[in-house]
Structure 1
């Protein structure tokens, strides 16, 4: 479940997802795409034949801006799935906090004191406190559910909302967000319109009808890393240094 839960994430995260969601008539969501990868695309389009429990864990790991446990809809049906769901928010809240601090978008003092008090002041403190809180509050003999204290859960939710307001919607971050969206949209349209480029990039002949072509391009882009998407964009639009020198010699 942990290995498969983010397979559908696009390059540049929410920026890429928003573009594909707009470009595809049926929409796009990374959770649906993760399930599509393991059920349809992998193993030469035969899927991986995973158990229902694993697919359920992949499909229900995402929270968006919803609750983690209390009041949450569609919790995973297995303890393993619940553990991935709860670990996911701990991981991304901490990693995004660290990235924002390293990038100068946040200062440590910007984080509300009440959240630092509950979650911790450093990366290792935040991880350790959350893990210990889950261990203390999970009693499988009493209730078959992975739990954390209400205080910890609320602190994580508030920290997530704080990151949305102060980091994800930050003007500097937003400018980069727009650049990423333009790159993804440009790649999408180029791969949909050029048979030669599609064949060169994917190694496959393009699909016969436009709907199938757009679906294949969407799958291809969704499987890219940030670095791969940037590299492909550069390869399409920027000349290589040595051919330029040869051109000058002519």
Structure 2
């Protein structure tokens, strides 16, 4: 019996009946089974070894190209989402490997400069731009020089359904939810992670103070970073058990407080004057780069036989903050003259 088959048998014997078992995983294209790893373990490894994943370390979470070592980047955000999601999945006896793979891949399509870059590409593109759709395109088409990663359909679905913007955290329309409970866990773990670490970073940046957060929110969720995460994680676990695993849930009072905390962050951090002044600068960079490459698509090396706008979107959305900044400088800013000195 292969190690993979033993692992699949352990899942079958120990996981909850609502868990999605690795042995039932499917892929868009045929792929030989591994002798050691389950399909979802392989997906996790393919994501971690991808170029897009490595670039996350230099992509903005909230604060652009931060000089401080302790500000979150898109990669550290991804790792925090993964940790929270795995904790919930393990406690509910759901498939931890599937959950981890979705969490690690959920933001692969994010632009440089975070949501500022996403907003501009959405405005400039005829088809619009959504990072969750681009994340799926990254794993399906762009990675491995146009071959893609051939991830399982269950991981692909979780990546596509993870985002909520300012919409409902747990939508009433189940069409917006991942088909697996593991994918639904990532959707809620994403917001648990970012509202908490963005508070931490905003305090570090001097945008808000710890006592700025409304007391009723803190009383409901917790007064420290660790307390809030623990409260929300435990609420998700107990609520999901209470509804007999019909969907991933959270207690009504905790969910209302989480929504209020997200609203507080939008009003006092994301849309604050200090952050927005940098957003406007970043938006101009992305806008100018888009216009330039639409007029000069030959400057992009790889086209993958796609239409010009798709090529430009793929190229810009894949950039890191510092790559976009350096490229903008090369294209649009004058360079010091390096000719021979003039004698008088």
TM range (shorter): 0.7 to 0.9
The match for 1:148 among 235, 250, 268 is 250
- Partner of residue 58, structure 1: 159
Does 2:150 align with 1:49? yes
Q: Is the 8 A contact 2:297 2:308 kept in 1?
A: no
Structure 1 spans left out of the alignment, 5+ residues:
none
* Residues 129-168 of structure 1 aligned to structure 2 (within 5 Å): 129-139=231-241, 142-168=244-270
CA drift at 1:220: 0.7
Instruction: Tell which deviates more after alignment, 230-239 or 80-89.
Output: 230-239
- Cα deviation 1:211-230 (Å, max 9, x = unaligned): 82221111111111222212
CA drift at 1:234: 2.5
* Residues 51-130 of structure 1 aligned to structure 2 (within 5 Å): 51-69=152-170, 71=172, 73=174, 74-130=176-232
TM-score relative to the length of structure 1: 0.86
Does 2:315 align with 1:249? no
- Partner of residue 315, structure 2: 220
Does 2:126 align with 1:34? no
- 1:106 & 1:8 partners in 2: Cα distance? 29
Structure 2 spans left out of the alignment, 5+ residues:
1-101
CA drift at 1:181: 0.4
TM-score relative to the length of structure 2: 0.64
- 1:195 & 1:39 partners in 2: Cα distance? 23
Shift in alpha-carbon separation, 1:166–1:248, aligned structure 2, 3 A: farther
Shift in alpha-carbon separation, 1:58–1:188, aligned structure 2, 3 A: same
CA drift at 1:125: 2.1
Aligned-residue Cα RMSD (Å) equals 2.4
- Partner of residue 7, structure 1: 108
- 1:53 & 1:207 partners in 2: Cα distance? 26
Instruction: Tell which deviates more after alignment, 83-92 or 63-72.
Output: 63-72
